[in-house]
Structure 1
Amino acid sequence: MDFKQGDWVRIEKNGSVYEGKVMPSMEGYITIKMKSGYNAGFCRDEVRVTLLESENEKEAETGTKEAKPGPEAAASGKGKLPKVAILSTGGTIASKIDYRTGAVTSQFTADDILSAIPELKEIADFKGRVISSILSENMDQASWENLAKAVVEEIKAGAEGIIVTHGTDTMMYSAAALSFMIDTPVPIVFVGSQRSADRPSSDNAMNAICAACVAVSDIAEVSVVMHGTTSEDYCEIHRGTKVRKMHSSRRDAFKSVNSLPIGTVDYETREIKTLIDYTKRGEKNLQFKPGMEPKCALIKFTPGADPAVLDYYVNAGYKGLVIEGTGLGHVSTKWIPYIQKAVAAKMPVIITTQCLSGRICDRVYDTGRDILKAGAIEGEDTLPETALVKMMWALGQTDDFETAVEMLRHNLSGEVTACTLG
């Protein structure tokens, strides 16, 4: 029978029935996208294909699909709800399957998110704004500054909370960047999803609802809100400078490192329980401190690695380096003269640990003491990625080497804890 890409079909094979939307297929085969979100491919000669009315037509007949009002309509009659701005940057939470290719593409807007998750309208009066529509691997320092500027504009315009929808792969970098760039009197909440909205296992709705609860709370920090477990029970609220994506695909991929989460959000009751101290709503005045130096690098030390890599960055005009050392923050003794040369060239060097959990201490062994004598800065229990963003921000604030080093030695936005968890 004749059918074309995008048609809704039923396929029968060996007594089993499959329904789905026709996707691009190789000659002699038919590939469909099923409602489960999974693809299935069949040899044309081995199946019976029946053309169905389109999925959209069936929805129109049965009235199963809710209309998509814009944010203004969603907010009508709810003027007493807190005003929250949703700033969309793209990522999986703002993505769906492109049936032309079968790939996940970033093509939802902030308005689409509001329409797809109607429960959000019970929590706040939302305003949607698209900042970008990219997957998070395409974020860069200019993107961070553009996003931070938009966040500040919305707060000045009266937003009582901000939600940033973002791809999960680099969300920790963006959250750290805004943590350093903005002193905020209101919550700024990053949220994403590990699975796109049109998959049955998507985590987008629960994450977004929990993020909205935090956006209207008194937790006036930059935070990341994501699944706390693989189940539909609660989300965790992570400080923007202490969070890391720890798994490539699990729904509970994000964990606080060297710190407890700020708290949790119960999905069913929407109750927030806090676990550590946090900055409360209104404690800080809004302050915007833009400026990010892009020519900074994160280097991972490995046994036998050539220390001349440090010379490369010095000669290439880089302004700062973060080194992931071993254990307590060590590198080979061969690296120490090169660190000294970098510091002599007015390039700050921060030492962190590739262990992630725990803090460095370069005063235990001779190697560590020599690293400090060479002029390196102890990163304490700062995550390497956060240390890199902190370096970029500090060097974006000043051209003076000593001033930058002084900034880098201190806790600026919760990136260093006084006592690291055991």
Structure 2
Amino acid sequence: MRKVELFMKEKGIEIGDYVEVVEKENGTRVIHRGLVMPPYELSKGETLTVKLDNGYNVGILIDQIVEVRIIEKAKPREEVSFKEVLPKKPGLPNVTIIGTGGTIASKIDYKTGAVHAAFTAEELAKAVPEIFEIANITPRLLFNIMSEDMKPEYWKKMAHEVAKALNSGEDGVIIGHGTDTMGYSAAALSFMLRELEKPVIFVGSQRSSDRPSSDAAMNLICSTRMAVEDFGEVAVVMHGETSDTYCLVHRGTKVRKMHTSRRDAFRSINDVPIAKIWYDGRVEYLREDYRKR
């Protein structure tokens, strides 16, 4: 445990607490008031990060702190509940959305400026009602993590959950996933789920779902359309351009994230995407060598 975690544990400080910190720098006492931020993962852990009232963050060396006082404790986060969103409609295909977290299932905490994996698949589905006109949606929460925390052992759990859904009669599965490691997860499941006869679609977003510039809604709509297509592979569905024109369907073993923030960050490497999908439901297949149902 790093020095900052030990300090916070000793003082009973939690992320989001509003605190007053007194530090002594060059013989001068300096007072800071603000919200405690998560410690930076790649730092040595020698500083306490506080978001000041003016919006700026300040890092205070633990060794220079002479006094700390908790003014207001952070409010506890709501428990994640999970259930079927709406009753099934006769005649529509059945699609399961598996939530794993990531930006597509996150929102900004405007108080601290941090992004949290906070939306469940249920909340995400409710935020994009158009998908209920395409399929009967069953949401399932598997993880609620950012994609940098994804591990190979989680791939096994994802594969088992996907297989369980498909074997129970679902027509397709969508996996909401963080974008940083989505290409790795898509490749892993491409090899783990053998002889697929139904689509398994990974989807993410470059900008959190509660931002006006978010790409989450269109990506989810396009992925739902692909999940009911005559298609039987693992694929990634993301924006094809920076504007909301169409999404591209990338083969799970050929896709890579090529930019940190662009909405069209995902590209098929040394290959052609499988298809284009428009918001209105049009699908243009760009190649013929794909597995069908």
Q: Work out whether the TM-score is over 0.5.
A: yes
Counterparts in 2 of 1:234-273, with a 5 A limit? Answer: 234-267=246-279, 269-273=280-284
1:94-124, CA deviations, whole angstroms, 9 ceiling, x for partnerless residues?
A: 0001244221110111101111111111110
The whole-number CA distance in structure 2 between the counterparts of 1:104 and 1:257 is 30
The whole-number CA distance in structure 2 between the counterparts of 1:125 and 1:278 is 29
Query: 2:236 corresponds to which residue?
Result: 224
1:189-242, CA deviations, whole angstroms, 9 ceiling, x for partnerless residues?
A: 000000001111100000000000000001211000000000010000000001
The whole-number CA distance in structure 2 between the counterparts of 1:229 and 1:71 is 34
Query: 1:112 corresponds to which residue?
Result: 123
Report the TM-score, using the length of structure 2 for normalisation. 0.72
Q: Does 1:144 align with 2:155?
A: yes
Counterparts in 2 of 1:291-330, with a 5 A limit? Answer: none
Q: Does 1:206 align with 2:218?
A: yes
**In the superposition, relative to structure 1, how do residues 260 and 27 fare at CA in structure 2: closer, same or farther (>3 Å)?**
closer
Residue among 39, 46, 53 paired with 1:29: 53
Q: Does 1:94 align with 2:105?
A: yes
Report the TM-score, using the length of structure 1 for normalisation. 0.50
Is the helix fraction higher in 1 or 2?
A: 1
**In the superposition, relative to structure 1, how do residues 73 and 132 fare at CA in structure 2: closer, same or farther (>3 Å)?**
closer
Alignment root-mean-square deviation, CA: 2.4
Please tell me whether the aligned partners of residues 136 and 167 of structure 1 are also in contact (alpha carbons under 8 angstroms): yes
**In the superposition, relative to structure 1, how do residues 28 and 187 fare at CA in structure 2: closer, same or farther (>3 Å)?**
closer
The whole-number CA distance in structure 2 between the counterparts of 1:179 and 1:159 is 18
Offset at 1:129? Answer: 0.5
Higher relative contact order, structure no. (Cα contacts within 8 Å, ≥ 6 residues apart): 2
1:365-401, CA deviations, whole angstroms, 9 ceiling, x for partnerless residues?
A: xxxxxxxxxxxxxxxxxxxxxxxxxxxxxxxxxxxxx
| Unmatched 5+ stretches in structure 2 | 1-15, 17-33, 37-49, 57-81
Query: 2:133 corresponds to which residue?
Result: 122
Offset at 1:74? Answer: 2.6
Residue among 185, 199, 206 paired with 2:197: 185
Please tell me whether the aligned partners of residues 35 and 51 of structure 2 are also in contact (alpha carbons under 8 angstroms): no
**In the superposition, relative to structure 1, how do residues 236 and 28 fare at CA in structure 2: closer, same or farther (>3 Å)?**
closer
| Unmatched 5+ stretches in structure 1 | 6-22, 32-38, 40-69, 283-422
Larger-gyration structure (1/2)? 1
The whole-number CA distance in structure 2 between the counterparts of 1:236 and 1:96 is 24
Q: Identity across aligned pairs (percent)?
A: 50
**In the superposition, relative to structure 1, how do residues 206 and 71 fare at CA in structure 2: closer, same or farther (>3 Å)?**
farther
Q: Does 1:82 align with 2:106?
A: no
The whole-number CA distance in structure 2 between the counterparts of 1:94 and 1:124 is 20
The whole-number CA distance in structure 1 between the counterparts of 2:198 and 2:86 is 22
Please tell me whether the aligned partners of residues 117 and 145 of structure 2 are also in contact (alpha carbons under 8 angstroms): yes
1:113-159, CA deviations, whole angstroms, 9 ceiling, x for partnerless residues?
A: 11111111111001000110111111111011110010000001111
The whole-number CA distance in structure 1 between the counterparts of 2:144 and 2:229 is 27
AA aligned to 1:131 is L
